[in-house]
Amino acid sequence: MSTANLDDFQGRVLVADLSRGEMTTEKVSGEALLECLGGASLGAKLLYERVAPGVGWNDPANCLIIASGPLGGTSVPGSGTICVISKGALTEGGAVTQANSFFGAYLRHCGFDAILVTGAASRLSYLHVYTGGAAIRDASHLAGKDTWETGDLLRQDLRGPRDISVVSIGPAGENLVRWAGIICDRGHAAAHNGVGAVMGSKKLKAIAVEAGSAGIPMKDSRRFLSLAVGLSDGLRNASPADGMNTFRWGTLNGVFRNTEANGGNLPVKNYTTNIYDIERDRLERFKASNIRSQFGAVRTPCFACPMHHSHVFTVPEGPFKGRMVDEPEYEGLAAWGPVTGQTDATWSIVLADLADRLGLDTNEGGWVVGMAMECFEKGLIASKDCDGLQLTWGNGEATYALLNNIARRRGFGNVLAEGVMRAARQIGGEAAQLAVHTRKGNSPRGHDHRAVWPEMFDTCISNTGTLESGGRVMERQVAKYKDLPKYDHFSPEGVPLLNALIKGAMLFEDSLGVCRFTTNTDMQLLVDLVEAAAGWKLTIDEALTVGRRAANRLRVFNIRQGISPELDGPSSRYGSTPVNGPAKGKNVMPEWPKMLGIYYRAMGWDERGVPLPETLRGLGLEELAADLPVA
């Protein structure tokens, strides 16, 4: 660890103007860094300042920001995390999404806290970032390559496989599929709200970052090391017997355990049922220990991380026998398992890997294909409408072909490339009633939120294109430090109030450059680490304020971009009533207006969902009030 002057090091933003072909470096002031820290919060500030009202997601004037934070590149496990911020293609509002691996650490080791990309190149290009500088290079030889191929080729072109981290888009991003994602080092996806489409609109195929030789400055290196070692030891000592233990299994066990528990939150066949009708022997193949054993798992950990979370597999059987694939997260298995009626674990793993290679958001993908399959089942579309494919539930061959068509906007794939909301409108008829999405146009993560009202509400009122408050996980962590009212997860009063009270925790953590799985959102540990690293002493309330400031800034950004608060709600299928399972008969929609009112008041917003001037003033954002509509 370096003891260099913190002011000289922190806050350096690498600015790539692709239209001009220029690379410059800007310095964020110390005051602004203390206000934002980094990551999501710094990105929200830069986005607000750089993207004017009326700028479209695919306009060269839109910005794509990739940021680490004050803990990035340190000895904290998982400190290679990045946050990607932009105006997203699905909601045409704020997009904030994360990925792990090495990129964030290497970026800081090159002397930068963030990269801000603006403009659009005249031809396909990539950025090469090295210690203290960067260059824009031709990427014509990467055109059409998937994300695995792109990373491998850039490592060959530059320095080798061990000291280069690559974020890239696949064919989906190049073809401006609205739900394209950005994939980091093969299997790590920052994919919510179409950030890969934004990157593709700039003709930016990839960013390759060298490991770098710049040290990470420390205010109190001894204390920081002690905290980081304690965190690592705690992870290693976690009980390996626990089937949901993320140290050992990551999230790989999710489909198996959610089916076993039958809590109603497993998303099955596009929300048509809460029962995953799968034979016991097939379900056992979704068990993490069985998958790892059968697929010959080889560890591929993220930066400084001791967790057994990331692996590369070799497919043991079937048409893809011998193919190397990335270990899926729960959401990948859910999308290409129960959501689309797939009961073959091998197909689910192969399809999840294909989505990453093509540069597609696996969550939106599950809802898009699930909606198409239900349309096929109901006769709203036929084989002749979808390029001869039989889109029956669980048809792995058809799904594989369809994803390739979507990524290249071929045939019916061109319709689905617009995302579930817009695709349903194009199909017409009853299709719009079958589409799972928020009214803003983004889809939820891989759960049936009709059994988890806090996460449905959070997803619908979010200004990031995905979860913003963090639901049950953040509630448990914030409850250690604040008195929170007790409520059940179907409470129309408790759900919105708790959502507002924990607002800020998730965005604060996403501002630090570390992985949520390694820190477990331990708020006291996080503020202690920030103080040891940067010398910024924060109380937990002040840390929550960092996140609340970002949430309100993004709220005003979205309003300024024309996103009406009337869009704070679910589609008819997303907000529908489960017909079976533990949540059978639970109907959130009659309560929705009341829930919004409670949330708006608790957030310090008016009845329209617009932040009040005094709320902005209390957060140090009083200048934003001038951008709000007059009551």
Specify the pLDDT at position 409: 98
**Poorest-confidence range of 132-146, 476-490, 595-609?**
476-490
Distance CA 205, CA 188 (A): 16
CB proximity list for 33: less than 8 A, separation 6 or greater: 10, 11, 42
pTM: 0.97
pLDDT digits (tens, 9 = 90+) for 389-438: 999 999 999 999 999 999 999 999 999 999 999 999 999 999 999 999 99
Mean pLDDT of 519-531: 92
Percent of the chain at pLDDT exceeding 90:
89
Distance CA 422, CA 622 (A): 36
**263's tokens:** 């809590």
Q: Which residue, 208, 102, 211, is CA-closest to 156?
A: 208
pLDDT above 60 for 3: no
pLDDT above 80 for 145: yes
Specify the pLDDT at position 7: 56
**444's tokens:** 């939820």
CB proximity list for 619: less than 8 A, separation 6 or greater: 545, 548, 549, 552
Specify the pLDDT at position 4: 41
**197's tokens:** 């489409």
pLDDT digits (tens, 9 = 90+) for 47-78: 999 999 999 999 999 999 999 999 999 999 99
pLDDT digits (tens, 9 = 90+) for 484-522: 888 888 999 999 999 999 999 999 999 999 999 998 888
pLDDT above 60 for 106: yes
List of long-range contacts for 49-52, beta carbons under 8 Å, 24+ apart: 50/116, 50/118, 51/87, 51/557
Q: With left for phi above 0 and alpha for psi between -120 and 50, is residue 314 left, alpha or beta?
A: beta
Name the pLDDT band for 471 (thresholds 50, 70, 90).
Answer: confident
Specify the pLDDT at position 215: 87
Specify the pLDDT at position 1: 30
Distance CA 58, CA 62 (A): 7
Mean pLDDT of 112-122: 98
Specify the pLDDT at position 255: 97
Domains identified in the chain and CATH numbers? 6-210 (3.60.9.10), 263-358 (1.10.569.10), 368-436 (1.10.569.10), 449-502+539-627 (1.10.599.10)
- Could you please report the per-residue DSSP string of 119-182? S--SS-EEEEEETTEEEEEE-GGGTT--HHHHHHHHHHHTT-TTSEEEEE--HHHHTT-TTB-E
Name the pLDDT band for 221 (thresholds 50, 70, 90).
Answer: very high
Distance CA 209, CA 588 (A): 46
Specify the pLDDT at position 482: 86
Mean pLDDT of 222-246: 78
Residue-averaged pLDDT of the chain = 94
pLDDT above 90 for 378: yes
Distance CA 228, CA 236 (A): 13
Compute and round to an integer the Cα radius of gyration of the chain.
Answer: 23
Percent of the chain at pLDDT exceeding 70:
97
Tokens 């602004």: give the residue: 32
pLDDT above 90 for 217: no
pLDDT digits (tens, 9 = 90+) for 238-265: 655 444 578 889 999 999 999 999 999 9
- Per DSSP, 25 falls in state E
pLDDT digits (tens, 9 = 90+) for 601-616: 999 999 999 999 999 9
